[in-house]
Amino acid sequence: MPPKKNNKGRPKKKNSGETGKPKEEMTQLQKQEAQTAAFEQKNKLYDVTIKKKDKAKREARIAEAIKLDKERNVAKWEMMVKHFNK
């Protein structure tokens, strides 16, 4: 049977990883370890992004609180100045 052709009429290339050797089967334990490692890696990335988002929210909240506090202090001092300048 001739090799399959791609849509341009040329024969398909083999994948660079294909060598014609039979693949070694992974044992059930190896598969499970690989899945666990991938899951942990994904969780780490997820945790980092959540922490970054939380940190940004916290910093924004703190900045807002500082701004409001300054406004309150200015208003308080203005009231005191008005009171004592009567």
**Arithmetic mean of pLDDT, 55-84:** 88
Q: Which pLDDT score is estimated for 19?
A: 58
Residue 39 has pLDDT above 60, yes or no: yes
* pTM exceeding the 0.85 threshold for the entire prediction: no
**Arithmetic mean of pLDDT, 65-80:** 90
**H or E, element range at 40:** helix 28-84
Do 34 and 26 form a contact (C-beta atoms < 8 A)? yes
What is the rounded CA–CA span in Å between residue 60 and residue 13?
Answer: 54
CA dihedral 29, 31, 20, 13 (to 10 degrees): -170
**H or E, element range at 47:** helix 28-84
The two three-digit tokens of residue 14, written as one number: 């083999």
